[in-house]
Every structure is written in C-alpha cells, then in structure tokens.
Structure 1
Amino acid sequence: MEIEILSMLQKIRTPLLDIFMSNITKLGNAGIVWILLTIVLLLIPKTRKSGLILAAALIVDLILCNGILKPLIARIRPFDVNSAIQLIVAKPHDYSFPSGHTAASFTAVMALYLVGEKKLWKIALVFAVLIAFSRLYLYVHYPTDVLGGIITGAIAGYIGYKLTFIVQSKYRKKL
C-alpha cells in the first residue's frame, strides 16, 4: 500500500515541482536549517533559552533517530524496493525508518512550540510539513517513515525541553 501511495505521488511530478522539492529537502540535509536556527537563537540574548532547548532537542533527536531507531529497525528504502524509479536526489545510504529529515524538523517544531516561540513554531511547522512531503515526493521514504519521523521528532522535542529544565534545576541547586 505504501508503494502505491508513493507511485501516486510520482504522477504529480513536474520539472518545476522536482526543483522545488529537491531544494526543500536540502534544507533538511543533516538538519542544517534547524542547526542554523539554533545558532541564531543562541546568539540573540532574548532567545538564548529557546536556542538551548532547541539544541538539546536536536541532540536527543540525533540519538533517538540515527543512533537507535534507524539501525535497530534497518528498513530498506523504497527506491531499493522499486528500482524502476529514477531518483532526482542523491541516494541516501542510511536506513529508511524513521525519516531523519522529518524527525529533525518536527523536533524543532515541538521544541519551539513548548518554549513559547509563538510565531517561529508556526513558520517551522510549514517548513517541517514541506520537508516531510518532499521525502515522499522524492521517493526516499515510505509514508510510515515520515509518520515515524513526526512522532520521533515530537518525542525528542518534548524530551529536549524537559531535559533542559532538569539540568538547569540541578545546576542551580549546586550554586
């Protein structure tokens, strides 16, 4: 069923959408857009707390997604199952589940939401949805990979948020 969904998406492909989706997905490569956002937030005194929480959440995501889940589940990618598909992006060499691009994106959304970045989390959500969809459009993830990335990201965002406060409260007690 998942291959059927991906095949349906292949029917809406156009040269313009190919370029757009390839560029959108690049924003999520190695979590670069979220890492850059974290750096910007850390540099601005007013948003430093948000930056710390986002950094913690992204580290949790990296551990959960790439360190634990991908190697544990070891799901092969859809383009390896259906080799007739011509990829328009470089073949990823890691496992498929969960989508790392999606997980990092939704980690950022959840962390920004929890810390109270009212406008920023909404903008991040738009980018996260586009990045997640691009992974399906580009045939590099199954729909359940993306769903798993959303869930993993939400959990990582929450854990990063909570972890920051736990560390902060322990540090303050020692002063």
Structure 2
Amino acid sequence: MMSLIQNVDNSILLYIKNNMHEPNMDKAMVAFTTLGNAGTIWIVIAVLLIVNKKYRKIGFMALGALVLCTILGEGILKHVVQRIRPSADISAVNLLIPKPLSYSFPSGHTASSFAVAGVLAKYFKKYAPGFWILASLIAFSRLYLYVHYPTDILGGIILGVISSNVVIYMFSKFSGVQENDTISM
C-alpha cells in the first residue's frame, strides 16, 4: 500500500515538473511559498485583526489555530513520521528555493495556511473564497517547488482544518465568540 501511495505521489510530482514549469510560474510559486514561510502572511493578517478591537478575538483565534497546527505538525507529526522530502529522494531536481531542513509530512506551509484560512473564512464569509484560494496556492507551490509530496499537502490540509475547527470550538465554548457568528466588512 505504501509503495502504491509513493508511486502516485511521484507521478503527480513528475507531471507538475514536466508540464507546468516555466519562468513566470517559477517566480509566482516562489512568491507564494515565501508568503507562507513561517506563517508570515497569516501572522500579519492576525496581528492586523488583533490591533482592531472589533476583530481582536478573531485575530487571536487565527493565531491560536496557527500555533496549534504548528505544535501538532512541526513539533510532533514530522518527528513521528520522519518522511524524507522529494528533493532529497530525487537529486536531479534543481530547487528554486533553499533546501528545507525538516521532514516532509505534513506540509507546515499547508497546515498553517488552512488553519488560519479556516478561521478567517468562518468569520469573514464574504472573503472566504480568497482565503481558501491563497491557502491552496501556497499549498500547490510546495508541490511545484518539489519540497513536498501530494500526501504531505493532503495531511497539511487535514491538520489545518482540524486545527481551525478545534480553535473555533474552544473559543465559542470559553470566550463568547459564537460558532455561527459572521462579520460583514
């Protein structure tokens, strides 16, 4: 079963490599990955929400989801699974970004993006498609740049969505933010 999954993962990466790479896409994918480095774009959004009293709780929820998925993904799952990155398995690939030093599963960029996008989409429904698109582009950039397998991305999406749902539930239970609240801007 694991070899079947690995073969599917490799086939998808090779398809992307052989059919999508070109200079403008290279630049765009490096830019999207850079937005996700250390959760930068999501931290900036959360801080901007926190400084506005009206959106402060949602900003803290976004940071909470980011911290939770980072602890679970980077702190625990990567060290339990210890999956080698595709760029280490397939040495003929020229990376467009510095070689990541951590393990591959789950994708931290993807997990953090979907964790925060989940919180933001819940409370800013009007902008939800934009949050999900940005999270998806950051996730796809990790495949494009050959630093994650598709199943790493899937694991990151699942971890991110679970993290956002846990934080939304916890805040609704203990801080007065209701699960069914939405904010119009």
Task: Please report the TM-score for the alignment, with normalisation by the length of structure 2.
Answer: 0.87
CA apart distance, 1:113? 2.7
Residue 141 (structure 2) aligns with: 134
Which portions of structure 1, spanning 4 or more consecutive aligned residues, are displaced by more than 2 angstroms?
119-122, 163-169
Residue 73 (structure 1) aligns with: 81
- Give the gaps of 5 or more residues in structure 1: 170-175
**Counterpart secondary structure, 2:175:** helix
CA distance in 1, matches of 2:54, 2:133: 24
Point out which structure has higher relative CO (alpha carbons under 8 A, 6+ apart). Answer: 1
What whole-Å deviation, never above 9, does each CA across 1:135-161 have from its counterpart, x for those lacking one?
Answer: 000000000000000000000111111
Q: Does 1:110 align with 2:118?
A: yes
Alignment length (residue pairs)? 168
Q: Give the conservation status (yes or no) of the 8 Å contact 2:32–2:137.
A: yes
Residue 146 (structure 1) aligns with: 153
AA aligned opposite 1:66: E
**Counterpart secondary structure, 1:98:** coil
CA apart distance, 1:87? 0.5
Q: Give the conservation status (yes or no) of the 8 Å contact 2:49–2:59.
A: yes
Task: Please report the TM-score for the alignment, with normalisation by the length of structure 1.
Answer: 0.92
Q: Give the conservation status (yes or no) of the 8 Å contact 2:29–2:141.
A: yes
CA distance in 1, matches of 2:141, 2:126: 23
Matches within 5 A, 1:79-94: 79-94=87-102
Residue 125 (structure 1) aligns with: 132
Residue 162 (structure 1) aligns with: 169
**Counterpart secondary structure, 1:87:** coil
AA aligned opposite 2:147: V
Identity of aligned residues (%): 43
**Counterpart secondary structure, 1:101:** helix
**Counterpart secondary structure, 1:28:** helix
Matches within 5 A, 1:17-56: 17-56=25-64
